[in-house]
Amino acid sequence: MGKKPKKGHCKRLPVNRVITNTSGSENNTRSVDSAWIERLLTLHQRVRDVVLESGHEESGTKNAKGDDVKQFDVTANNAAVTVLRELQVPVVVDSEESVRQKIGSGMPKHRLVLDPVDGSDNWSRGLPLAAISCAVLPFDAPLHPDWVEAALVGSLTQGSPLIALKNSGAWRGEYRLETSEVCDITGAMISVELNHHSPSPGLSSLMATAKGVRSYGCASRALALVAEGATDAHVDVRGRLTAESYLAGARMVIEAGGWVVGLDGSPLAAAENLTDRIHLIAASSRELCDEIVDVLSHGTD
């Protein structure tokens, strides 16, 4: 038996564990195509380059969720599609910024769920927390982290993105990601999404109890920071989060040994499309996750 964890710390789940299926299907384990590592690295580099060269003005259009589309959103989306066409891999692309596109010849085996610039409001104001978020799923799979076979969260200000492969871990270059060992709220640094939301008593209590609180305005980067161990949890209780922003980051948290659930601690529901909205809690451990759920549900009681 291992040593008992110190107070305020806990053992992470093994980072290469098999994830149980919570999406209602009988089998969600398929062989992972490791060629996606190089494909995703290329995608990040090309999209990052064009965004860095783009301006910050509005495009004058709105996406399917009704959000304003910036010109760099369009440029990034076009660059991502161009890369995928050059790779000649038959895929279907579901992007926040465009209608569904089928790329390549033959029957597609995979579906890419893409946010070419997650945190575009940050980027338009010159704030650095923005990223390309891309999740690769089997073509016919539900929109759920359990089904994500490969994932990318690539900062627009850093050349080295985060990559995850299902049941094979999450990485930044040669460095394998692991969540922190913090499992007590009083010792935790948490991020909380507050945009378009007035905190409930439970959320206010959580923020008052935590060691530190941050709000980043970019779900994929907030989740990636949990996977890296830089923060201990990310909480979004607004019911506004959509799949293109969280699928890749949630897979990374899982691969790094963390825990991802819905607001009441139950498994996330599978989204039907990119306009379905959810609540999400991601934490470094089951223990911290359960404590967050308890505080949110009981408020100041």
Tell me the pLDDT tens digit for each residue of 202-215.
999 999 999 999 99
Tell me the pLDDT tens digit for each residue of 263-301.
999 999 999 999 999 999 999 999 999 999 999 998 644
Residue with tokens 């999404």: 193
Tell me the pLDDT tens digit for each residue of 145-199.
999 999 999 999 999 999 999 999 999 999 999 999 999 999 999 999 998 888 9
- Domain 185-298 sits in CATH at 3.40.190.80
Q: Of the ranges 15-24, 47-56, 60-69, which is most confident?
A: 47-56
Q: Does the pLDDT of residue 116 top 80, yes or no?
A: yes
Residue 17 pLDDT: 40
Residue 301 pLDDT: 43
Please state the domain extents for the chain.
36-176, 185-298
Closest CA to 117 of 54, 164, 172, 160: 54
Residue 197 pLDDT: 86
Please give the share of the chain, as a percent, with pLDDT higher than 70. 83
Residue 12 pLDDT: 56
Q: Averaged over 45-64, what is the pLDDT? A: 75
Q: Under CATH, domain 36-176 is a member of which superfamily?
A: Fructose-1,6-Bisphosphatase, subunit A, domain 1 (3.30.540.10)
Name the band, by pLDDT with cuts 50, 70 and 90, for residue 8: very low
Position 164, amino acid? A
Q: Does the pLDDT of residue 29 top 90, yes or no?
A: no
Name the band, by pLDDT with cuts 50, 70 and 90, for residue 9: low
CA–CA separation, 210 and 188 (whole Å) = 6
Residue 32 pLDDT: 59
Residue 64 pLDDT: 54
Residue 274 pLDDT: 94
Name the band, by pLDDT with cuts 50, 70 and 90, for residue 97: confident
Q: Contact 233/292 with Cβ under 8 angstroms?
A: yes
Residue 196 pLDDT: 85
Q: Averaged over 222-250, what is the pLDDT? A: 97
Q: Contact 279/237 with Cβ under 8 angstroms?
A: yes
Phi, psi of 87 (to 5 degrees): -70, -20
158's enclosing H/E stretch is none
Burial class from Cβ neighbours inside 10 Å (0-12, 13-18, 19+) for residue 261 reads: buried
152's enclosing H/E stretch is strand 150-155
Pairing of strands 58-62, 68-70: antiparallel
For residue 55, CA distances in Å to 44, 51, 118, 119, 125 come to: 18, 8, 16, 15, 11
Half-sphere exposure in the Cβ direction for 67 (13 Å, CA): 21
Same fold, 36-176 and 185-298: no
Q: Does the pLDDT of residue 7 top 90, yes or no?
A: no
CA–CA separation, 180 and 211 (whole Å) = 14
Pairing of strands 150-155, 162-165: antiparallel
Q: Averaged over 59-77, what is the pLDDT? A: 71
Q: Contact 257/179 with Cβ under 8 angstroms?
A: yes
